Amino acid sequence: MKDWIFSTDHKRIGILYLVGSIAAFAVAGIMALLIRLEQSGLGPTITSDATNYNVWLYFHGAAMILAFLIPGLTGFLANYLIPIMIGAHDVAFPRINSFSVWLFWFAIVLALLTFVIPDPPDVMWTGYPPYSVQTAGNTSFYVFTVHLMGFSSILGAVNFLCTVIYMRAPGLGWNQLNIFVWTVLGAFVLQLIFIPVLAAAVTLVLFDKYFGTAFFAPAQGGDVLLYQNLFWFYSHPAVYVILLPAIGTILEILSTMSRNPIFNYKTCVYGGVWGTVVLGSDVWAHHLYVSGLVDWLRIGMMMTTIIISIPVGLLVLTMVGTLYKGSIQYNTPMLYAASELFLILAGGLTGIPLSMTSMTLHLSETYFVMAHFHYIMGIMATFAVFAGVYFWFPLMTGRMYNETLGKLGFLLNFIGVNVTFAPLMWIGVEGMPRRYFDYAMFPQFEGAMKIATVGALIIALGMAITIITWIHGAIAGEKAPHNPWGSKSLEWTHTVYPPGAGNFPTPPTVSADWSPYNYGKHTAHTI
């Protein structure tokens, strides 16, 4: 126990992030089930108090994004893998790393207090004023959770940028880095620049609610839209904080399982990853299309939003190219990774009508938006975390998971998410507004809501099987053979499983022709 609490080993810290984020995922998932059960019929079903419903929505959204996806990708996967992938013995600042993970755990505890305090926050994940200022709910819990998570992530960003810049193995050049490392660098640059803006915005809400200031109160000279601008100035880039490492994870798997190098590596890195980082900073107002925004800004942001499909398209092209003519192994991590092509298309293509200022007049604030971001962010990124856990499972535990159980969980999850979100997307186009507690004025949508609820139950079963598969594998799985997937990357070729203190029995040195994707070529990846 003490070994874990005071550990500065990046692998243990990574596992602590994993446990915390999966716990948050489980509770936020239960909230999702409650939301779907509430909507399974017209009128109140499992609660008659709309505030309960708002609290579930708040916890579900805020926890999924702040406590599961961002820490799952940039906390767990980045921590566990990046030092090993670059041939380092640990991160640049191990104690700060330990401090970050405990900040994250404090934030989780703070978020969970939602369920015990008498006036829980009910402000969605967005915390928009004037509601967040006027509500009887305790908005300060939302604000402090954002502060803690944000601070933890900023420390992580500084740590990992320094680690990759200064601690690469001798000989390891920038263009030999794993693609996952690049995507995490992109994500951390975004976090470093934009988190302070979100932190400032929520702090001003705190002042307005508890100290009587009027930053967002128009009657006293404030500006309510200022908050929305500040919030999305961070939170649009935040979707790339999630998208980039998710795609990085998937690319590692696609490459290894199809025995192909990353297709178009340099275009993917400099065009795809960094193009997304640069353009992603300049599209936030597409979340404010229906707020009465001035025309020049609305049209401008429509252009940038459409243009960002180019770098995102490059990333998807790399995924397809990496599979092309591969000799593919269809195991559980690969099933998750391959399904991402469909999920990214479903989520990305639905973004295009939303980016058109004309079409969004109809679609904004409907279930269509909700289905869009669940396909691209909810499901795609969640599947990436799952794919990552399965792929690196032998490395992390020294054991194999059960392939049949893993595949069964995948199948249920994949069927479940589509049974849930396809009907919701459809009723969104038909005009079903998001965030309504009851939909008495739209009785025609009850059938679709019921189907979606069945979908959510299928997902719950799939998730339960997935978590059982992991626990079973970690405790009773067969011993993992050396390099079970035949990868060329340092974390597999130069370590024992699980890697011990300092990661490598002998610290690796890399030659100029080494690549983590040297499949098919006979160049030795010598040390």
- Residues in contact with Cu ion by CB under 5 A are 236
CA angle 138, 143, 144 (to 5 degrees): 100
Nearest residue (CB) to ligand HEM, 257 versus 387: 387
Nearest residue (CB) to ligand HEM, 195 versus 354: 354
State the binding partner of 259 from Cu ion, ligand HEM, none, CB within 5 to 8 A by kind: none
Q: Under the criterion CB under 6 A, does residue 352 sit at the interface with ligand HEM?
A: yes
Task: List the one residue out of 328, 333, 329 whose CA is nearest residue 469.
Answer: 333
State the binding partner of 493 from ligand HEM, Cu ion, none, CB within 5 to 8 A by kind: none
Q: How far apart are CA 435 and CA 189, in angstroms?
A: 32
Q: How far apart are CA 40 and CA 248, in angstroms?
A: 37
Nearest residue (CB) to Cu ion, 232 versus 386: 232
What six digits make up the tokens of 282? 């300049």
Q: How far apart are CA 411 and CA 335, in angstroms?
A: 9
Shortest distance (Å) from residue 64 CB to Cu ion: 16
Q: Dihedral sign, CA of 162, 168, 172, 175?
A: negative
Nearest residue (CB) to Cu ion, 52 versus 309: 309
Task: List the one residue out of 298, 289, 337, 305 whose CA is nearest residue 239.
Answer: 305
Q: Which of 355, 402, 453, 503 binds ligand HEM (CB under 6 A)?
A: 355
CA angle 266, 166, 157 (to 5 degrees): 80
What six digits make up the tokens of 242? 């999630």
Shortest distance (Å) from residue 61 CB to ligand HEM: 7
CA angle 194, 197, 203 (to 5 degrees): 145
Q: How far apart are CA 220 and CA 276, in angstroms?
A: 39
Largest CA distance in the chain: 71
How many angstroms separate the first and last alpha carbons of the chain? 36
Q: Under the criterion CB under 6 A, does residue 449 sit at the interface with ligand HEM?
A: no
State the binding partner of 414 from ligand HEM, Cu ion, none, CB within 5 to 8 A by kind: none
Q: Evaluate whether 132 touches 201 at the Cβ level (below 8 Å).
A: no
What six digits make up the tokens of 319? 């995924």
List helix spans (H) across 39-138: 50-62, 70, 78-85, 94-112, 131-134
Shortest distance (Å) from residue 41 CB to ligand HEM: 25
Residues 101 to 160 in contact with ligand HEM, rule: CB under 6 A = 126
- Contact pattern from residue 231 through residue 270 relative to ligand HEM, giving x for each residue in contact according to CB under 6 A and a dash for the rest: --------x--xx---------------------------
Shortest distance (Å) from residue 286 CB to ligand HEM: 4
Nearest residue (CB) to Cu ion, 95 versus 435: 435
Shortest distance (Å) from residue 313 CB to ligand HEM: 8
Nearest residue (CB) to ligand HEM, 308 versus 424: 308
Residues 281 to 340 in contact with ligand HEM, rule: CB under 6 A = 286-287, 289, 305, 308-309, 312
Q: How far apart are CA 281 and CA 150, in angstroms?
A: 18
Peptide bond into 498 cis (omega under 30): yes
DSSP 366: B
Q: Under the criterion CB under 6 A, does residue 369 sit at the interface with ligand HEM?
A: yes
Q: Is 262 left (phi over 0), alpha (psi -120 to 50) or beta?
A: beta
Q: Evaluate whether 66 touches 234 at the Cβ level (below 8 Å).
A: no
Shortest distance (Å) from residue 369 CB to ligand HEM: 5
Shortest distance (Å) from residue 367 CB to Cu ion: 17
Shortest distance (Å) from residue 483 CB to ligand HEM: 32
Q: Under the criterion CB under 6 A, does residue 163 sit at the interface with ligand HEM?
A: no
Chain residue whose CB lies nearest ligand HEM: 351
Cα 151 versus chain centre, distance:
18
Q: Which of the stretches 90-98, 197-205, 345-353, 418-426 binds ligand HEM when contact is defined by CB under 6 A?
A: 345-353
Q: Which of the stretches 112-120, 362-370, 404-412, 506-514 binds ligand HEM when contact is defined by CB under 6 A?
A: 362-370
Q: Which of 373, 383, 392, 517 binds ligand HEM (CB under 6 A)?
A: 373
Q: How many residues bind ligand HEM (CB under 6 A)?
A: 24
Rule CB under 6 A: which residues touch ligand HEM? 126, 239, 242-243, 286-287, 289, 305, 308-309, 312, 348, 351-352, 354-355, 360, 363-364, 369, 372-373, 376-377
